[in-house]
């Protein structure tokens, strides 16, 4: 019954799709397209607030762009952290685990 509640749930679906995928993926790109289509249709149907007023109308494509930049920054930061943590010191070829003992 409430547009803002519906929109919150819908945006959670889009956000989760983006969170679980990488930016170049089709799912990631499609979630952005669908969210933009929803925003445009919502604004058109509500006649930009003259037919229906709702807090949902405060979220526009500019705000979506800011959210996308924030999400990508977080993903890049997380990826850099993971890359730094996955770098392990190289093992010497003389280490005990690489030696073959002959008796």
pTM recorded for the entire structure? 0.74
Q: What pLDDT digit, counting tens, does each position of 78-103 carry?
A: 888 888 887 755 554 555 555 554 44
Domains and CATH numbers, the chain: 3-84 (1.20.920.10)
Question: Which pLDDT tens digit goes with each residue over 2-16?
Answer: 999 999 999 999 999
Burial class (CB in 10 A: 0-12, 13-18, 19+), 28: buried
């Amino acid at each position: 019954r409430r547009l803002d509640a519906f929109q919150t749930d819908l945006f959670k679906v889009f956000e989760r799709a983006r969170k679980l995928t990488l930016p170049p993926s089709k799912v990631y790109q499609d979630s952005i397209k669908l969210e933009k289509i929803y925003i445009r249709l919502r604004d058109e149907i509500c006649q930009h607030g003259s037919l229906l007023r709702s807090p949902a109308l405060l979220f526009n494509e500019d705000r979506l762009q800011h959210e996308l930049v924030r999400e990508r920054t977080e993903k890049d930061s997380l990826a850099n952290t993971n890359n730094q943590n996955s770098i392990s010191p190289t093992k010497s070829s003389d280490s005990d685990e690489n030696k073959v003992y002959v008796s």
